[in-house]
Amino acid sequence: MDTPCNLVPPHIADKEHLVSQRTLVLLKPDAVRRGLTGEIISRIERKAGWQITALELRTLDQDTLEQHYGEHKGKPFYEPLVEFMASGPVVAMIVEGERVIEGLRALAGPTDPIAAAPGSIRGDYGVIVRENLIHASDSEESAEREVKIFFPGRA
Ligand code: IDP
Ligand code: MG
C-alpha cells in the first residue's frame, strides 16, 4: 500500500520547512517560590529537539525590568508587575530549537491562567493574571531584544 506522504495538507507540509530559533524564557518569582521550576523545565526538555542553552537563577533589578517590560509602561498593571517580578529570584533561560518561539508560547498558554487550557503551564498551575509563572518571547524581534537584555554575551 502507498504511504500517504502525498496526502499531507499544504498548511502542515509548509511547517516542515523548520527553522531553528531561540527564545528568552523567565520562570517568574511565583514559579520559584512554589517549587515549580523543575516541573516547568521538564516540560520544556520533554519537547523533542529543543535545547536549553543558558540557565541562571537571578533577582532582577529595576533597570532590567524596565527594559524588559518597557512596552507596558503606563498601563495600570505595570507597577505591580515590576514589583512582583523583583520580589524574588527568577530562572532566566535561552531555549533553542525548531519553532521554539511559537512552541514555548503554546506550552505556557495565554496570559490569563483561568482562560488557559489545562495541559498548559499557566492552565495547570496559575490563577492570578500577574502571577502567571512564565514569560516567553512573543516574536523573533522580541526574542533577540530580550536575549540581549538577559544574556548580553549571547547577543
Ligand atoms: P504575556 O506574558 O502573555 O506576553 P503581556 O500582555 O505581554 O502577556 O503582559 C506581560 C505580563 O504582565 C503578563 O505575563 C502578566 O504577568 C502581566 N499582566 C498582563 N496583563 C495583566 C493584567 O491585566 N493584570 C495584571 N497583570 C497583567
Ligand atoms: Mg508579552
The reported pTM is: 0.91
Query: Pseudo-torsion of CA 128, 122, 101, 93, nearest 10°?
Result: 80
Q: CA distances (Å), 72 to each of 52, 77, 82, 90, in order? A: 27, 8, 10, 19
Taken in order of first residue, the domains within the chain and their CATH numbers are 19-154 (3.30.70.141)
Give the closest residue to 44 by CA, choosing from 31, 61, 29, 33.
Answer: 31
Whether 135 is catalytic is yes
What is the CA(4)–ligand 1 centre distance, in A?
A: 43
Each residue's pLDDT expressed in tens, for the chain with a length of 155 residues? 444 444 555 555 566 667 799 999 999 999 999 999 999 999 999 998 899 999 999 999 999 999 999 999 999 999 999 999 999 999 999 999 999 999 999 999 999 999 999 999 999 999 999 999 999 999 999 999 999 999 999 98
Residue in this structure with the C-alpha cell 519553532, named with its chain if needed: 99
Q: Give the dihedral sign, CA 54/57/61/65.
A: positive
Closest-lying ligand 1 atom to the alpha carbon of residue 71: 7
Ligand 1 binding residues, C-beta < 6 A: 72, 77, 81, 111, 129-130, 132, 135, 138
Q: How far apart are CA 39 and CA 5, in angstroms?
A: 36
Ordered alpha helix ranges (H), the chain: 10-14, 29-33, 37-46, 62-68, 78-85, 100-108, 121-125, 140-150
Instruction: Out of 11, 68, 72, 135, pick the active-site residue.
Output: 135
Cell numbers describing residue 55? 540557565
